[in-house]
Chains A and B, each alone.
Chain A
Amino acid sequence: MQKIFRCLLSVFVLLTLNTFAQDFTYSNISIVSATFSGGNLNIRKDDGTGSYTAPQWTAAGTTQSPVAYVSGLAPTVAGAFTITCASVPDSVFVRGSASDGINFIAKKVIVAASATTTHNFLYPATVGSHIFTASIVRFFKPFTINWEVSFDNGTTWRAIGATNNTLYVTRSTPQAEGTDYKWYHTVFDLSCRNAQYQSLDTAIISHVWSEFVDHVVLNYNDDSLFYYKIMNSPNVTLGSLLKFRDAECYTFAQLFLSSIKIQGVVRTNDYVYITPINNTVCGHTVNRFIVKDWSFGTPSATAACPAFPYKNTYVTSVGTMPPPYTAYVFTTSDVTDMVGIPGSCNVRPASYFNNHQIAKLDGVYYDACYGVTFPTLGAIKTAAFSGWSYRFTVGANTEAYFSNDMSQSDLSETITTF
């Protein structure tokens, strides 16, 4: 009789538990936020308004924040959840399974008391089951964590949704920030997107460079980064390129080099400032060059300077340029700017310069805004220039004299470490 009673009691208890558990099955569980920690890197916003902060994923967020780690680390994640139910247990089990086969182990968490039917519970900061492979660049877009909850001590699990963040893994610890080089979102994105699975310095450099060669350089949001969308762009810093998505040559060299440095690749003497050698012709210093392609018409200044017989005049080369600021405006002109070498996202960028800034890595010159490389300094003028120029100002007007004889000057380089 006692055995029968025990048996009936057991059946009653099990039935009660099952009924109670089914209440949870139909309860409403929501992910509130996910917070990454454990050595994740600071990521600056491209718009210059500061850095992304935790939590990196929120249910209310229309866009989620990116996350970055150095390879060899495992991600650490905490989660916040709510459960809405008339009756809730004191605790539940939570776990996550993420991209790259990373798991966040099941943990028993307390369901907080509440005056309403909605209760909070927190999955504590938990280190992922394995590290991102050491010395390998990774790019997860997205890095997904599928969250599950269990009401029966982990016997059965119920999916409660996923959190998605873009996650970057750099090969090594990024080089420390400088005044121009900073850990911007697009620097992480461009670098890891292109150098995915790479490890060697040379492979990282070549894969990052591949972003530039097709003249379509994109930011983290797949927006184009323009080389002189307007010819009078004042933007010469990496920050302004990423903020305004339109800038001068300096910034593309900086973006390329930053995307190398963010992987911890160390190179010195990598930033090259090129300008004419300042030789004197007809009493003036040659200090301008024009990038292909320019059309040379009938020279009107042969008498003034036989070596530089082509003459243009202008009030100012860019300052009074009328909208849409996409073409030079000369008062008189023997030489005319034509469509020539395209720049990033622009088939007809500015092309009348005193100087130009490019990168130099392992003996190769990388001209990032044009997406081309040169084996030597001397190769640049031959491949890319239409001619040389000098200019001087007379009152409010500038007179510029041109030559398409490339032997009339040469380039000098000044080298610094970016």
Chain B
Amino acid sequence: MKPFFALLFFTIMSFAVSAQKIERKIIIENNRFYYSTIDEEFQVATLHVGNVSDGLKTAKSLALPAGRNFNDPVVPFSWDLSRDDFYAINFLNHPLNDRNEALKRFKLSALQEWSDKVTVLNKIVESVDLTPFAYNDPYLFTIKRSNTLTNFFFDGIVLNDTTFFMAITNSGEISFWNYNRLGWKNSEIQKLSVDAFFTLFEYKKRAYMFLNNGQTYEVSTKTISQAPNKTPGATLSEGVLIINKDDNTVKYIKNSQLDFNVPLNELIKKRAIEIF
């Protein structure tokens, strides 16, 4: 079976340097950038890490024990960083992957680069056996209200040192959830029609939701209100957010403007649109 593993390894490696569809966002922290991509064949995520003064293509590719599926409509990989912790909602399709156990947290410093010993198979198995930091109550709640998934989307972010925040939609309803290590608290169910994925981001300890139509909402378990004049004038699927935790800004850049050869800090200056 060695050729099989070699095939997987080289598939991943070739993927790492070629296909670069960024999942949702680029995070900048301590002058380093982080972005994730998904293996289109095996669903497993790669975290790319580099210096903001370098181009995105120079990033080191770290294997993640998490990923997401390719079901229609696509829900991009949900991930976030907080200090040395990497958070992920592991929604890859696998017969041993329990969606109720999808919320994963692992140490950034423990991540390894892809190699002949760090394989897709290793990461898939690791991902399904990894103990969740919380049970996925938002998902269970949502499918209990309706087990028919229509316009089903979700995202989760670290809101502060103690809070993981999630938003989840299905069949024209949305709910917001806070997990504070003791348990979940959720908002009232609200009517909100979305027909494509959305992305959450944190700005000054508040949660915002960027919809695919370009609108931004401030959201919590208590309120949802549109943030006026906070739109890049483009849809979410046309670009990615740049969450800069160093200068506390949130920007947007179109996929067509993403040049992986240009140093990221220069790229942002020239082509990114400021939202916050």
B149 at the interface (CB under 8 A from A): yes
Given contacts A355-B97, A416-B152, 16 further A-B contacts (CB under 8 A): A180-B70, A234-B8, A243-B41, A248-B93, A249-B95, A287-B98, A316-B125, A323-B1, A325-B1, A354-B96, A356-B95, A357-B93, A392-B131, A415-B147, A415-B149, A416-B150
A250 at interface, CB cutoff 8 A? yes
Verify A179–B71 contact, CB threshold 8 A: yes
* Cβ-based interface call for B227 (8 A): no
B47 to A: closest C-beta gap in Å: 19
- When distances are taken between beta carbons in the complex, the residues of chain A under 8 Å from B150 are 416-417
What separation, in Å, do the CA atoms of A393 and B4 have in the docked complex? 28
A412 to B99, CA, bound (A): 13
Q: Which of B8, B95, B131, B147 contacts A414 (CB 8 A)?
A: B147
Q: Please give, as numbers and ranges, the residues of chain A lying within 8 Å of B125 by CB-CB distance.
A: 232, 316-319
User: Is the C-beta of A333 less than 8 angstroms from some C-beta in chain B?
Assistant: no
Chain A 301-325 against B: per-residue CB contact (8 Å), 1 yes, 0 no?
Answer: 0000000000000001111000111
Please state if B71 and A393 are interface contacts (CB–CB under 8 Å). Answer: no
Out of B41, B69, B126, name the residue touching A239 (CB < 8 Å).
B41
Instruction: Kindly list chain B residues whose C-beta atoms are within 8 Å of the C-beta of A216.
Output: none
Which residues of B pack against A, CB within 8 Å? 1, 4, 8, 41-43, 69-72, 74, 92-101, 120-122, 124-126, 128-129, 131, 135, 140, 143, 147-150, 152
How far is A350 from B125 in the complex, measured between Cα atoms in Å?
A: 14
Binary interface encoding of chain A residues 27-61 relative to chain B, with 1 for a CB under 8 A from any of its CBs, else 0: 00000000000000000000010000000000000
Is B129 within 8 A of A414, CB to CB?
Answer: no
Which residues from B are CB-within-8-Å of A285? 100, 135
Enumerate chain A residues within 8 angstroms of B8, measured Cβ to Cβ: 234
Q: Given A355-B95, A416-B148, are A180 and B72 neighbors across the interface (CB < 8 Å)?
A: yes
Chain A residues with CB under 8 Å of B70's CB are 179-180, 237
Query: Does chain B have a CB within 8 A of A353?
Result: yes
A354 touches B97 (CB 8 A): yes
Complex partner residue of B98 from A350, A355, A412, CB under 8 angstroms: A355
Q: Does the CB pair A398–B97 fall under 8 Å?
A: no
> Are B101 and A287 in touch, CB under 8 angstroms?
yes
In the complex, the answer to whether B72 meets A415 with C-beta atoms within 8 Å is no
Q: Quick one: which of A41-85 are within 8 Å of B by CB?
A: 48
B149 touches A316 (CB 8 A): no
Interface size class of A (residues with CB under 8 A): 35 or more
Smallest beta-carbon distance B10→chain A, Å: 15
Residues of A that sit less than 8 Å from B by CB = 48, 178-181, 230, 232, 234-237, 239-240, 243, 248-250, 269, 275, 278, 285, 287-288, 316-319, 323-325, 350, 352-357, 392-393, 398, 412-418
- Flag if A237 contacts B95 (CB, 8 Å): no
Known contacts A323-B1, A416-B71; decide if A234 and B121 are in contact (CB<8 Å). yes
Which residues of A have CB within 8 Å of B94?
A: 236, 248
Question: Given the interface contacts A239-B41, A319-B121, does A414 sit within 8 Å of B96 by beta carbon?
Answer: no
**What residues of B have a CB within 8 angstroms of the CB of A278 in the complex?**
100, 140
Within the complex, which residue of B95, B99, B101, B149 is in contact with A248, where a contact is CB–CB below 8 Å? B95
- Are B149 and A414 in contact, with the CB atoms below 8 A? yes
- Distance A232 CA – B8 CA, assembled complex (angstroms): 13
Docked CA distance A353–B95 (Å): 5
- A353 x B129 contact (CB < 8 A): no
Contact residues in B for A323 (Cβ distance below 8 Å): 1
Indicate which residue in A178, A234, A350, A392 contacts B124 across the interface (CB closer than 8 Å). A234
Structural contact, B1 and A230, CB atoms closer than 8 A: yes
Let me know if A413 and B97 touch, CB within 8 A.
no
Instruction: Name the one of A180, A230, A236, A319 contacting B122, with C-beta atoms under 8 angstroms.
Output: A319
Contacts of B97 on A, CB cut-off 8 Å? 354-355
Chain B's closest residue to A278 (CB) is B100
Docked pose: A193 CA to B8 CA in angstroms: 33
Alpha-carbon distance between A392 and B149 when the two chains are bound, in angstroms? 29
B residues in contact with A393, CB < 8 Å = 129, 131
Tell me the smallest distance from the CB of B7 to a CB of chain A, in Å. 9
Contact in complex: B98, A240 (CB < 8 Å): no
Residues of the B chain whose Cβ atoms lie less than 8 Å from the Cβ of A318: 96, 125
A residues near B148, Cβ cutoff 8 Å:
269, 414-416
Find out whether the CB atom of A236 lies under 8 angstroms from the CB atom of B93.
yes
Instruction: Report, nearest first, the 7 A-B pairs whose CB atoms are least far apart.
Output: A319-B125, A178-B72, A353-B95, A236-B93, A179-B70, A416-B149, A354-B98
Which residues of B are found within 8 Å of A417, using beta-carbon distances? 72, 150
Bound: A376/B268 CA distance, A: 55
Q: Is the Cβ of B69 less than 8 Å from the Cβ of A236? A: yes
In the assembled complex, the CB of A258 is this many whole angstroms from the nearest CB of chain B, namely 12
Chain A residues whose CB sits within 8 angstroms of the CB of B147 once the complex forms: 412-415
Q: Are A236 and B43 in contact (CB under 8 A)?
A: yes
The interface residues of chain B lying within 8 Å CB-to-CB of A288 are: 96
- B27, chain A: closest CB distance, angstroms: 25
Q: B64 → chain A, closest Cβ, in Å?
A: 15
Specify the chain B residue showing the minimal Cβ separation from A180: B70
Q: Which residue of A lies closest to B97 (CB)?
A: A354
Closest Cβ–Cβ distance, residue B39 to chain A (whole Å):
10
Alpha-carbon distance between A49 and B70 when the two chains are bound, in angstroms: 19
Chain A residues whose CB sits within 8 angstroms of the CB of B135 once the complex forms: 285
User: Nearest residue in A to B100 (C-beta to C-beta)?
Assistant: A278
Q: How far is the CB of A306 from chain B (nearest CB, A)?
A: 24
